[in-house]
Amino acid sequence: MTVKLHCFGESGNAYKAALALELAGLDWEPVFVDFFNGEARSPEYLAKNPMGEVPLLEAGDMRLSQSGAIQDWVIEQTGKLGGKTPEERREIWRWVLWDNHKMSGQAGTTRFLMNFIPEEKRPEEVIRFFQGRLRAAFKTLENALSDRDWLVGDEISAADISCCGYLYYPEPFGFDRAEWPHIDAWLDRISETPGWKHPYDLMPGSPADRA
């Protein structure tokens, strides 16, 4: 069975799901979603995913949205990326939930506001507000990585994949790897993992395609 992931390269949330599938060694293929032209809100897409979001996983008759839920499915299918003990499993999901609320949700919004809408429409006060909250999140992540290679346990897990989701993108949103040496080294470790790919190489769709 080939798994299909509806996604596009510019989505950090889709990247979390795609990278989990890739690193776990599952047979999968990307299906491009033309997000910027409204495909995720089309009747055809909403019939598959009423939440109207990307990513969306299809495996046989099963359809599953939300990157964290997709990562959980990958763990169940492969036994990989989910920790070695129940305690590690809980700690992984603590980080996934933290990322979804504290970092990725704000990083994605900030990156969108700074890069994907016309410059004259960018709300500078809102952007500064989000960047302030992001700096607090980066500090939390930096401190957590100050004495360990991985967020949970002694190998890469869904916690790392979730929290790195937006940090490889080249578009500016207030994150400079040079400011955060422990995060920088951690991102290098992730990118050195066999099977790792940059989001624009792993999924179809990049800003260059829309230029």
The model carries a pTM of 0.96
Query: What confidence score (pLDDT) does residue 80 get?
Result: 98
Query: What confidence score (pLDDT) does residue 2 get?
Result: 79
pLDDT in tens, the chain (211 residues): 779 999 999 999 999 999 999 999 999 999 999 999 999 999 999 999 999 999 999 999 999 999 999 999 999 999 999 999 999 999 999 999 999 999 999 999 999 999 999 999 999 999 999 999 999 999 999 999 999 999 999 999 999 999 999 999 999 999 999 999 999 999 999 999 999 999 999 999 988 887 6
For residue 104, the SS3 value is: helix
Query: Other CB atoms closer than 10 Å to residue 78's CB: what's the count?
Result: 15
Residue ranges of domains in the chain, CATH in brackets: 3-81+196-210 (3.40.30.10), 86-191 (1.20.1050.10)
For residue 167, the SS3 value is: coil
**DSSP element (H, E) containing 30:** strand 28-32
CA 54/CA 35 separation, integer angstroms: 8
Query: What confidence score (pLDDT) does residue 209 get?
Result: 83
Q: In 37-75, which positions are buried (b, 16+ CB within 10 angstroms) versus exposed (e)?
A: eebbeeeebeeebeeebbbbbbbeeeebbbbbebbbbbb
Which amino acid is located at 123 in the chain? P
Query: What confidence score (pLDDT) does residue 54 get?
Result: 97
Query: What confidence score (pLDDT) does residue 71 get?
Result: 98
CB of 19 closer than 8 Å to CB of 9 = no
